Amino acid sequence: MAEAEPVMVPIQDELDIVRARQEGRQLAKDAGFGPVDLARVATAISELARNIYNYARPGTIELKKIQRGSRRGIQVVAQDHGPGIDNVEEAMRDGYTTSGGLGAGLPGTRRLVDEFEIVSRRNEGTTVTVRKWLR
Amino acid sequence: MVQKIPILKIGEALIASIQIELNDESAVQLKEDILNQISATGATGVVIDLTAVDMVDSFLGKIVRDTAFMARLMGAQVVCTGIQPAVAITLVELGLELEGVVTALNLEQGLVRLAGMVAGGGGNG
Ligand SMILES: Nc1ncnc2c1ncn2[C@@H]1O[C@H](COP(=O)(O)OP(=O)(O)O)[C@@H](O)[C@H]1O
Ligand SMILES: [Mg+2]
């Protein structure tokens, strides 16, 4: 996978959620994504950034353009060193929430992107990596 | 940081048109402002216009849904208008169908819809 300079957005305040999704939308636009994919990317970033803010702040959203073979796309890595998720399988279920949210953030994000990986360890933190490819 | 969305009153209806990128606190503020304005003005309907909104995540989706339910408890109907195609697609993919939230294509149709709902006693029909 070819490397490009990543954009790092720290997630500490509530407004950083807006900042992260705006940066992500801009990068995805530069990469050539159309309006529907831009909305998907912005929404996915918003969900991941809010999870950091709600459950594990501070953390970071790393955004970068990626290339694999002839395919080009964008990668988002949401990383924190918070409490971790006890049961990731459960957290990936629609409607599962520990905060009175909608429980749509993680399962919904998985549907919005092409590739979705989550690694979480108790007391070590959570890293969610998602990729969206240009069609 | 809270940014206030202006709420206009036209006839019996309130209109809130979201023209800025809403952060969470501002979205919560908008919900409270709408409910307070219903109470203060006796409005029977509210149009929330989303024409300029290019992203609705689960937080904003929940705010919209809660506002509609809470307004209905108070006796006012909410219609959401102008949902962009990209927003409709991401909402469904996220799993937020916003069941129970009445929608219309644009502001004008939203006001027509409200007039019908108020005359017909409200509901989803
Ligand atoms: N970064 C994180 N650190 C710790 N727990 C998390 C994190 N992200 C998600 N979670 C847990 O997973 C649950 C499901 O997340 P999500 O699908 O986004 O729904 P919601 O945020 O509405 O609860 C959360 O309620 C929370 O318990
Ligand atoms: Mg969430």
Residue B125 resides in a domain: no
**Is A80's C-beta closer than 6 angstroms to any atom of ligand 1?**
yes
A78-81, Cβ contacts within 8 angstroms, sequence gap of 24 or more: A78/A11, A78/A45, A78/A48, A78/A49, A78/A51, A78/A52, A78/A126, A78/A127, A78/A128, A78/A129, A79/A125, A79/A126, A79/A127, A79/A128, A80/A11, A80/A52, A80/A55, A80/A56, A80/A125, A80/A126, A80/A127, A81/A56, A81/A124, A81/A125
**Is A44's C-beta closer than 6 angstroms to any atom of ligand 1?**
no
* Residue A1 pLDDT: 55
**Is A91's C-beta closer than 6 angstroms to any atom of ligand 1?**
yes
**Is A96's C-beta closer than 6 angstroms to any atom of ligand 1?**
yes
* Residue B71 pLDDT: 97
Range of the domain at B30: 7-119
CB-CB under 8 Å, B61 with A43: no
* ipTM score: 0.94
Q: Chain B contact for A16, CB < 8 A?
A: no
Give chain B's residues under pLDDT 70: 121-125
Domains contained in chain B, number: 1
Q: Residue window 35-54, chain B: list those with CB within 8 Å of chain A.
A: 54
Mean pLDDT value across residues A6-27: 98
- Give the count of beta carbons closer than 10 Å to the beta carbon of residue B5: 17
Write out pLDDT tens, residues A64-108: 999 999 999 999 999 999 999 999 999 999 999 999 999 999 999
pTM value surpassing 0.90: yes
The CATH number of the domain holding residue B47 is 3.30.750.24
Residue-range domain boundaries for chain A: 7-133
CB-CB under 8 Å, A50 with B86: no
> Is residue A120's pLDDT more than 70?
yes
Residue B2 resides in a domain: no
Mutant choice from B29, B63, B90, B98 vs A, greatest count of A C-beta within 10 A:
B90
CA distance A35 to chain B (A): 6
DSSP for residue B12: T
Write out pLDDT tens, residues B89-104: 999 999 998 888 999 9
Residue B124 resides in a domain: no
CB-CB under 8 Å, A38 with B23: no
Q: What percentage of chain A reaches a pLDDT higher than 70?
A: 98
Query: Among A21, A36, A42, whose Cβ lies nearest the Cβ of B89?
Result: A36
Pick the CATH number of A7-133 from 3.30.565.10, 3.40.640.10, 3.30.70.100, 3.40.50.11890: 3.30.565.10
